[in-house]
Structure 1
Amino acid sequence: MAMRICFFGDSFVNGCGDPAMLGWVGRVCARQGQGGHDLTLYNLGIRGDTSRDVLARWVAEAESRLKAHPNRRLVFSFGANDAAQNVPRAISLDHTARILRAALAFAPTLMIGPAPIADDDVSDDRVASLCPHMASLCHSLGIAYLPVHARLRQSSAWMEEARAQDGAHPAIGGYTALATLVEDWPHWQAWFQSSPISR
């Protein structure tokens, strides 16, 4: 059966900075399409969005795209803007919990942790400190969580491209590095192992 996935989050979900206009979302979905899966993606990343912004909009946007479809999925990834805008951690986590509890009632859901900010050590320290709390929250809710911050912090493609651009957003190499982390994630792979390949 065809699958439809809504990806919600910030500029990293949107793929800002990628001259190919794919970001990691376009790359991971293209890979599945090339493998024969019938997949429709909705990239609903908005530049500057915090957890509060995602909370305010995701239900209406998901319902308008997925409500009538039986094989629907949700992926969330945000948090860097919460850190950059110094949103208190407790508020970020409250927003995240409210999003994810409602998401679970709507469709199978995955959460991908926030990516690093290359040019602001203070903000990136806040991103790093938020990640384990997001992971713990997801674990308590039974939602798979992919931590990417530390691995991308060690990625020369992500960090060097981000510094060369606006200090936050990488180009092709960085988004390819993030796409690889998602593609190799067993919880992402499991969605497609249970979805037959179209012929």
Structure 2
Amino acid sequence: MQMLASLSQLNSPHTLQASLRLLALGDSLVYGFGDPVGGGWVERLRRQWMTPGGANHALYNLGVRGDGVRQVSARLEDEFKSRGELRNRVPDLIILSVGVNDSPRLGRPDGKNYTDFDQFQSDMAALLDRACRLCPVLFVGMIPVDEAQMPFLNCLYYNHADQYRYKEATRLACAERHIPYLDLFDQWMARGLEWSKTQFTDDGLHPNVSGYQTLLHDILSWQAFQHWIRESDRV
């Protein structure tokens, strides 16, 4: 097992090789629900890497709708151990994106969180520690929902206050482990609530086609991801 990967290790050419194997692991934001055109940001990126003469990296979409941190942690190793290309090796990079499904209130706006906050912190720490022992890790944070469309499925009350609390706990946990964290929540909030509402499907939780286009742009513009791509392309 590799030791905890720092940002410098992540971007070191000695840890990279041609034709990399990457996993994007998480919830519906990884799965791409809401984007019937491009299949979500992971699929859009995967297609870019399939261009003849370009990068030949393999990107596996391992998003499951509705997953929280505990569910993602439970399937972490099994997800790549069962795939032929990765059966006898660990991935070159894991991109994690999970946590929003742990944050909503149940039944009413002031109900209990789906995952108790202290339990969430413990589960997230365990997930990050296990992932880091496998290979380098990047973390793509949650985006702010459209609160006006809540509750989701008539029972889940997602809200910005809880989202902020859960994403901050995740950001700090990543910082403690030197895992690059993309704070999409703050980025999208800074663009304004009226803009943000235009990036969602009618359920207020899942991005629409434009939203996933924006997500891919934000991820490709992310300094940590850009640096990693530049280093991998030199190999």
Matched, 1:137 2:154: no
Assess, with a 3 A threshold, how the Cα gap between structure 1 residues 45 and 11 changes in structure 2: closer, same or farther. same
Assess, with a 3 A threshold, how the Cα gap between structure 1 residues 140 and 196 changes in structure 2: closer, same or farther. same
Residue 71 (structure 2) aligns with = 53
Q: Distance in 1 between matches of 2:199 and 2:90?
A: 39
Residue 82 (structure 1) aligns with = 102
Q: Distance in 2 between matches of 1:27 and 1:13?
A: 11
Query: Which letter does structure 2 place at the counterpart of 1:44?
Result: L
2:56 to 27, 32, 38: 38
How far off is 1:71 after superposition? 6.1
Matched, 1:25 2:61: no
User: Which deviates the most, 40-49 or 82-91?
Assistant: 82-91
3-state DSSP of counterpart to 2:96: strand
Unaligned runs of 5+ in 2: 1-17, 106-112, 151-156
Which whole-Å deviations, capped at 9, do the CAs of 1:28-86 have from their partners, x for residues lacking one? 33344448111111111111101111111111113333343476210100111001252
Residue 212 (structure 2) aligns with = 175
3-state DSSP of counterpart to 2:75: helix
Q: Distance in 2 between matches of 1:57 and 1:71?
A: 14
How far off is 1:167 after superposition? 1.7
Which whole-Å deviations, capped at 9, do the CAs of 1:73-109 have from their partners, x for residues lacking one? 1010011100125212221121111111111111111
Residue 4 (structure 1) aligns with = 21
Query: Which letter does structure 2 place at the counterpart of 1:184?
Result: S
Q: Is the 8 A contact 1:3 1:40 kept in 2?
A: yes
Q: Write the mapping of 1:148-187 to structure 2, written as runs, cut at 5 A.
A: 148-153=184-189, 154=191, 158-162=196-200, 164-187=201-224
Unaligned runs of 5+ in 1: none
Q: Is the 8 A contact 2:27 2:97 kept in 1?
A: yes
3-state DSSP of counterpart to 2:233: coil
Between the two proteins, the alignment pairs up a number of residues equal to: 197
Q: Distance in 2 between matches of 1:7 and 1:100?
A: 14
2:88 to 68, 71, 79: 68
Identity among equivalent pairs (%): 29
Q: Distance in 1 between matches of 2:62 and 2:196?
A: 22
Query: Which letter does structure 2 place at the counterpart of 1:193?
Result: R
Structure with bigger gyration radius: 2
Residue 140 (structure 2) aligns with = 112
Query: Which letter does structure 1 place at the counterpart of 2:222?
Result: W
Higher helix share: 1
How far off is 1:21 after superposition? 4.3
User: Which deviates the most, 133-142 or 78-87?
Assistant: 78-87
